[in-house]
Amino acid sequence: MGNFSIFEKKKPPPNPNTVQSAYPRTLPNDRNENTYSIILKENKHYVYRSPLALDSHLNQWKTETQTLYENLEDTSRRFATNRLFGTRSYDVKTKKYGDYTWVNYKDFAELRTHFGSGLRELGLVKHSRVGIFSINRLEWVATEHASYAYSFVPVPLYSTFGKLFIEYIINHAEISVIVTEEKHLELLSEVAETCKSLEKIIVMENRNEPGVKERLGDQIYAKKLVEKGKKIYMFEEIVEKGKVKPYAHEPPQPDDLCSIIYTSGTTSYPKGVMYTHRSMVAAITGFANIGYHYNETDRYLSYLPLSHVFERNLENAMVGTGGCVGFFCGDLRLVVDDIQKVAPTVFCGVPRVFMRIYDRVLERIRGESILKQYIFKVAFEQKRKAIEKNENSFLWDLLVFNKTKKQFGGKIRLVINGAAPLPSVHQEFFKILFARHTIQGWGMTETGAAGLVQVFDDIKGLGHVGPPVCCSDFRLESVPELNYSTEDRPYPRGELLIRGRNVFSGYYKDPDKTAEAFDGKWFRTGDVAQVLENGEYIAPEQLENLYTRSTFVMQIMVWGLSTENFLVAVLVPEKQPLLDKFSSSFPSLDPDSPKLYDSICSAPETKKFLLAELEKLGRESSVNGFEILKNLVIEPEPFSVENDLLTSTFKIRRHEIEKKYKDQLLSLYLK
C-alpha cells in the first residue's frame, strides 16, 4: 500500500472493456474467464472496476447488515456460544503470560450492553464522542461496540501522536469521555487543563488485579486529573452501573457517523476522517469478497493497532462471520508466542513484521547442516513449481515445511500484507513456507483501508496489489509536474483516484480540505499508480522496504524518470553505523562535533560505499538490473512528521519529498 501501486495485466486488452489478468471466476461469455479488471470509458477517462461489480458495486456482504451494530447483533444470535475475543492471562509473581481466556459472542454482547448502559448513566447521549486510548485489548472493542449500540462516536487516539496532537484531537472532536490504560494518565494530566470538553476518564485495568487499586490510589497523575476537575472511573465500575440500570439500545442509521479517525494532513495538525456506518460496511465488504470465505472456524491474532482502520475493519469482518480474535499480550517481542497460542487461520502484517519473520527463518536454516540446507533448497524449488502449476505440495509440506508452519500455529490459510508493498521475494517466500494464499493490497485511511487487493486464488501473483475491490472503482489522472501521464506507454501512470461507498464522507470541521480532496465523487489519494502488463515494472516501495534492511539505511525514497532506465533515491543514513564506519577518515574533526556526521554524509566515498552496499543487497534478493540504484541524494536529517515528510503512521510522504528534492534528484541523471 502506498504511492506506487501495481495493477498487473496479463496482456494488452483486445478492446477498451477488458483487461486480461488472473481473476478466476465465471464471467459472461463475451469476457475472458481470467478478467482481473473491467475497464469502462467515462468521458476522457478509463475507469477500472472489479468484475464482481459489473452492474453495480457490492456494498453489503450480508443483506441484514447495514451498520456495525447489526454486524454483531446478527452473529451474537447465530454464534452465541462461539469464542469471540481472547486475552492472555498474566502471572504477577512469575511475570509470565499463560493461556488465553475467551469470551463468547453472547457474553461479549452483554458486556457491550452493560458498558454502554453505564456510559448512558454517566450522561452520554447519541453522537457523544468517546475517545479510546490503549493497545488492542478486550476493553477497546467493548468500548467500540458499546458506542455502536448507543450511537456514540468512537474516536481512537494514537500513542504515537504525542501530547500536542492528543490535545488537539480531544478539543477538535469534542471528546467528553476517554477510555484508557493507566499508563496514559500522565499524558492526559498534562493536557487536561486545556481540554474543556473532556469530563471523565475511564481506566481499563481491573482494580481487583494485584496492585492496581493501590497503584491508582497513590498515582500522582490520577490525583492531578481530579484536581483539574476530571472524574476518574474504573472500567468495571461503569459495567456495574449498566447492570444495575440497563438502557435499551439506540441503534444508528446507516448514514449516521460511525467513527472519526485522525490522520496526518498537509498541515502540522491531523485531519479527522469521518466514516458513516454505511461506508464502514462497504469497506469490510471489500475485504470479505476476495475469494476467501471467512467463516466461524477462522481465528485471528490482533496485534496491529486498532487505532488504524485496516486492523479495525479486518476484525469486524471476523466478528461478522462468527470467527474469533485473540489479542496479543502487549509485548511485540512475544508475538510469535501469541501466534502459537492462537493458531490463527488468517494472519495480517506489515512488511516490517514479515521481513523480521523472513530473517528469523533464514537464520535458523543457515544454522542447519549442509545436507538439511540442501534439502530445504530442493523442497523450496519444488514447491515453487507446484504453486506455479497449481498442484498439490502435500509431500514437501509434510517433509520440510510443516515444522516451520507449526512455529506459527500451523493453521494459517490466508496471509494479508498491508501498509506498504511486500517485495516479491518475500511474498513468494511466505507463499511457499506458510500459505500459498499470501496476498497484498492498497488502501488508505480515507478509503477504509479498502481500495485494491489481490484475490485469494491468484496464487502466482507477485509484486502487485491486485484489482479494485468490489465496492470501489479507480482511475488515473496525469501529474505533469512529476512527469507521470496516463498517455505513458506501455504503462499508463498518474495520480490514483478512488470512488465508492467505502470512501470517507469528509474531514471533520474542515470543508476546505474536504473540497480539495475530491474531484466530484472521486477522492484524490495523492498516490501515484502504474498500470502494467506482465513484464518489468518498478515498485518503489517494495525496493524501499528491501533497501532499509541495510544496517546503514534509516529511510529511503526511490525515484525514477520514465525516460531513463535506472533509479535514484533520497537516502537518510543510520547515523551511528555510518559514524563508526567513517569517523577515522576525518581525523581533523572532533568526534563529538555535529559537523563530523554532515561531512561524512557529503563525502564522495560515503556515497560510493552506500551504493555498493545497496547493490549487494539488491543482487542477493535477485532484483532486476534496472532496480539497482545508480545514484543518491544523502540527507543527514531524517524524514519526520514535524518536517512534513512522514505521515502520522510513519509512512513517507512521497509527493512532499519529491517536491523538496526534485532539483537534486533531476541533477543525478546529469552526472
Pairing assessment for the beta strands 506-507 and 271-276 based on DSSP bridges: antiparallel
CATH code: domain of residue 190: 3.40.50.12780
- pLDDT of 361 > 60? The answer is yes
Note the pLDDT tens digit of each residue in 80-92: 999 999 999 998 8
* pLDDT number for residue 622: 74
Q: Where are the alpha helices (DSSP H) in 329-474?
A: 335-342, 351-366, 370-388, 394-396, 402-407, 424-433
Report CA 242 to chain centroid distance, whole Å: 34
What is 171-202 written as a DSSP string? HHHTEEEEEE-GGGHHHHHHHGGG-TT--EEE
Domain boundary among 316, 351, 368: 316
Q: Is residue 279 part of a domain?
A: no
Q: Which of 24-28, 105-109, 357-361, 514-518 has the lowest mean pLDDT?
A: 24-28
* pLDDT number for residue 218: 64
| Contacts (Cβ under 8 Å, ≥6 apart) of 511 | none
- pLDDT of 507 > 50? The answer is yes
Residue 190 domain boundaries: 68-252+293-316
- pLDDT of 359 > 60? The answer is yes
Q: Which of 105-109, 585-589, 642-646, 660-664 has the lowest mean pLDDT?
A: 585-589
How many C-beta neighbours within 10 Å does residue 20 have? 19
Note the pLDDT tens digit of each residue in 508-557: 999 999 999 999 999 999 888 887 553 223 456 778 888 998 999 999 99
C-alpha cell at 634: 544523502
Q: pTM for this one?
A: 0.79
Q: Is residue 337 part of a domain?
A: no
* pLDDT number for residue 212: 65
Q: Which of 351, 361, 359, 380 is nearest to 438 (CA)?
A: 351
User: How does residue 125 score in pLDDT terms, banded at 50, 70 and 90?
Assistant: very high
Cα 67 from Cα 78, distance rounded (Å): 17
Q: Which of 447, 492, 495 is nearest to 469 (CA)?
A: 447
Element (H, E) at 42: strand 35-42
- Is residue 379 within 8 A of residue 400, CB to CB? The reply is yes
Cα 307 from Cα 477, distance rounded (Å): 31
* pLDDT number for residue 195: 97
Pick from 6-10, 86-90, 617-621 the range whose average pLDDT is largest: 86-90
User: How does residue 484 score in pLDDT terms, banded at 50, 70 and 90?
Assistant: confident
Q: Is residue 344 part of a domain?
A: no
Q: Which of 67-81, 406-420, 480-494 has the lowest mean pLDDT?
A: 480-494
Q: Is residue 107 part of a domain?
A: yes
- pLDDT of 630 > 80? The answer is yes
Q: Is residue 31 part of a domain?
A: no
Q: Is residue 459 part of a domain?
A: no
Question: What b/e string do you get for 341-374 counting C-beta neighbours within 10 Å, with b at 16 or more?
Answer: bbebbbbbbbbebbbebbeebeeeeeeeeeeeee
Q: Is residue 590 part of a domain?
A: yes
CATH code: domain of residue 614: 3.30.300.30
546 vs 121, residue with greater confidence: 121
376: alpha, beta or left, given left = phi > 0 and alpha = psi -120 to 50? alpha
User: How does residue 319 score in pLDDT terms, banded at 50, 70 and 90?
Assistant: very high
C-alpha cell at 619: 543482487
Domain count, the chain: 2
Mean pLDDT of the chain: 87
* pLDDT number for residue 563: 60
* pLDDT number for residue 620: 84
* pLDDT number for residue 217: 59
Note the pLDDT tens digit of each residue in 231-243: 999 999 999 999 9
Q: Is residue 164 part of a domain?
A: yes
